[in-house]
Structures are given as C-alpha cells and as structure tokens.
A and B are shown apart, each in its own frame.
Chain A
Amino acid sequence: MTDRTLDILIDEIVLGLADDADVARVEEMASRDPAVAKKLVRAQARFAPLDDTADEIALPDGFWSRVEQGLDAGGIETGPTQTDVVDLSAARRALTRWRGAALGSIAAAILLAMTLGWSVMTPVEPSVIAVLLNDDGEAIALVEGRPDNTTLVTLLEQAQVSSERVMQVWTKPDDDGPPISLGLLASGRSETLTIQGLPAPSPQQLYEITVEPAGGSPTNLPTGPILGKGLAKEPVI
C-alpha cells in the first residue's frame, strides 16, 4: 500500500466509510507500527472538532443505573478483556430469580457430572482436576487443567469481591518455583483461561484464586487474600 492510499484509507476509517476488513487491517498495522498509529490519531484529531458541534442534550434521569447494569452484565463484546472488574455485590443485586435458579442448576449439573467421572461435560478430557477450598473447607471453585494449558475455572460460590478488585487464578507448575498467573476471572464468573508456554499440568500441582487489584496483581505474584486453593488430581476416566 502506498503512503497516499494508506492516508486516504485512514481518513475513510475515521469518517466511518471504510469496511470492516480495512478497519481491522489498519488497526493491526497500527498495533505494530507506531507511525501508522500516529497517522490514525492525527486523522481522528482533524475531525474531532465536529464532535463538539453536536447539541448538548441532557441524558435521561437514572441513566447512570443503566450504565451500571451494563458494567455488571457483560455482553457487547464477546471474550473477556484484561481489566474487566468484578463487582459481585452489584451483580447479585442484578440477578433475577430465574438467573439465580439457572446458576444453581448449572452448579448442580456440574457436581453431578463430577460424580459421573466428567465424561458427560468435557469433550476434551482434563489432565488434572482441582477442587479449591476456602479456609473453612468449603469448595469455592473447580479447576480443570487440560494438557494444552487451557484451564476451565468453575466458580461454585459467589465471591465477595469489591468493584476495585478482580479474582486471579494461579498455579505452581514447579513445586519450588513461583506461582504463575493463569489469568483473571474478569467477569466474576466461571471462565476458560488459556496460557502459552507452561508444561502440561500434573497431579499435585497447586492451584489457587486470590483477590487482586483491578487489572491483576501489580507484582505478577499473588498479593491479595486467598479465596481458595487446592492440589490437582488426575481424574479416573
């Protein structure tokens, strides 16, 4: 692509005239090439004064609560983002009765599948399973580790996590090594996490979930209180 074509394409993206494929292509270029990113920002800045020419219209009363529902609900985008923040107290408020019932049945189904030896629920067989217990010995989450280091985390209990915090999942592939982050439970719900570059999980491997500042532990090691931990076992299949 010549510079001239790129410049025009970038302007068309800012105007909203480019098609999705071009937008994706240029965004990908911008993520690799700061010069392209700069062009994009400059083009946006050229037209930005037009935003201020719109009328200022008061948002309807109670709009903030709609926004908050959106924050709690997830959706719009598929797939978790890194700094989604957990606010389970609000999520619980927002839960309608049927959703509560549905979650309850999901949990029951999971437990049932567990007793059936997992053959029902898991198309790819996990190499290890850990039940994470809290200090009182209650199961708070179920972790299934697959050979390719996909980790399915099923929460079995609503965690008390404030809006400024997020749950982070850790494991210790090496008994004597540091804990490694498997990812954040950004939505505050059960999630599948993937990580590259770890050996396949093995029995007796430690898994734990801690509460960390939004965005994850700043030190990349667990800093917050432990919600639950457990050692992995190999399922009998």
Chain B
Amino acid sequence: MRRVENLPQSRNAVYARSQDLTDIATDFSPCAGAAPGWNRKSQADHTVIDYAMLLKSCSEGDRAALRTLMETEGGRMFGVARRMLRRVDLAEDAVQEALVLIWRRAHQYDPERGSAKGWVYTILRNRCLTLLRREDREVATEPEAFDREADGAVLDQAIDRLGTTSDLRRCLEGLDEQTRRAILSSYVLGHSHGEIAGRMEAPLGSVKSWVRRGLTKLRECLS
C-alpha cells in the first residue's frame, strides 16, 4: 500500500484531462452522473492506493487508474521483466503489453480469488514467458552464452531479499541445492525444464522429478 500524495506533479494534468472527458460526457450523456469516481475520490481524501480498487477503476474505463498502477508498481514490474528477459527492450515490451492486458482484463479480476497485486504479476510473468519462449525460438542461444555465475548471483540475491522471517525462504532453504536452484530459476529467470537441464548438465527426466518432489515438499512446508 502506498499513498497518493507523493505522486509527481504530472498527475494533476492527468486528473485535469480526465475531468474534461467527464465534462464532455456530461454534455451528451444522461448517465454521466455515474462516471468513475476514482479521480475525484483520490483528489479529495488522498485515499490509500488499493490495487483491487485500481483494477475496478480500470474496468470502468478510468485510464488515470492504470497510470497510477504504472507509477506505483511499474518500476518493480520492469525489474521482474528484466530479470527474466535480460534485455531492456524486451522487458519494456513486456511491461507495456502487460499493462495493456491488465486494462483489458481488469473486469475479469475477482477480489474473492486472491490479491490484486498477485493477479497483476501473474499477467506480467505470463507475458514475459511468452516473449522469452518466442525469443528462444527466433534467436538460437549458444550454450557458451549461458552465464551460470550471473544466474547464480541473481538467484542468491532473490533468496537473500526474501528476508529472514520469510516462510518461503525457510522452506526453499530446506530443499537440496539442485532442487532449489531448479525451482528458483524457473520462477525467477523463466527457465524451462530443458534450459534448467542444460545449465545443470543433468538429464531432463531428473530435473523434472527434482522439481516435482521439491514442489511437493515446498507445499507441505508452507501449508
């Protein structure tokens, strides 16, 4: 949860523009009174930003809500995308496309089914995976190009940043090294079974069964 008041000055311009649209709507529409309330509400009482509320406003056609989402969460989304895609240009594409998909699918988000932030990142990650798989097909990666050390450093950093009190961290650390690495590199780096097997120089079948066993252990540990 973040607050609205520290948003940059450009926000005002957005609100002003949205307000104009509402005014135009008033001129010709009998139901303009029901225009989205996000703008006015956030201006009036500096409401704490609530992702579910932002998605609801998006589903009602309020672009300022999507922009607020981008301004509050875009940096982290960019980081997640760059970690998976490595290339800045692809990561930008992923974030842009994810935001457009979030806008289009906002009406499908059901608060009863999990957190809005989780929903946002699921869309982003799926977009990254699609771009990653597409890129893999188009650009053949030389095995030498694998940078195991860099990958390892990214994964270690991910674990470290989970924080010492994190259950996920405790449970991941309870797995053996290979399994932990396999699971983390799929979630964090977007690696497929085949890529994990290639990097670990292990048979594909073994990687698949490590991952499955590891996932069962993790689920038990976290429940």
Contact = CB atoms under 8 A, between A and B. Distances in A.
Decide if A and B are genuine partners. yes
Interface of A: 4, 7-8, 11-12, 14-17, 37-38, 41-60, 63-64, 66-68, 70-71, 76-77, 81-85, 87, 162-166, 211-215, 218, 223-225
Contact of B99 (A15, A67, A223): A67
B158 to A, nearest CB: 4
B96 interface: yes
Contacts, number: 186
Contacts of B67: 64, 67
Contacts of A218: 34
Contacts of A56: 75-76, 78-79
A64 B113 contact: no
B178 interface: no
Contacts of B157: 53
Contact of B76 (A52, A60, A162): A52
B183 interface: yes
Q: How large is the interface on B (under 10, 10 to 19, 20 to 34, 35 or more residues)?
A: 35 or more
Given A45-B115, A47-B168, A66-B96, A59 B59 contact: no
21 contacts: A45-B115, A47-B187, A51-B76, A53-B188, A54-B76, A57-B82, A59-B78, A67-B67, A67-B70, A67-B100, A70-B99, A71-B66, A77-B104, A84-B104, A85-B61, A162-B25, A163-B63, A164-B61, A213-B31, A214-B59, A224-B30
B54 interface: no
Nearest to B158: A53
B74 A83 contact: no
B34 A54 contact: no
B121 A51 contact: yes
Given A44-B122, A76-B100, A162-B21, A50 B63 contact: no
Contacts of B36: 164
Contacts of B200: none
Nearest to A54: B79
B42 to A, nearest CB: 16
Contacts of B63: 68, 71, 87, 163
Contacts of A11: 215, 218-219
B105 interface: yes
A162 B187 contact: no
A8 B212 contact: yes
Given A51-B121, A164-B21, A215-B107, A16 B186 contact: yes
B186 A58 contact: no
Contact of B118 (A45, A54, A57): A45
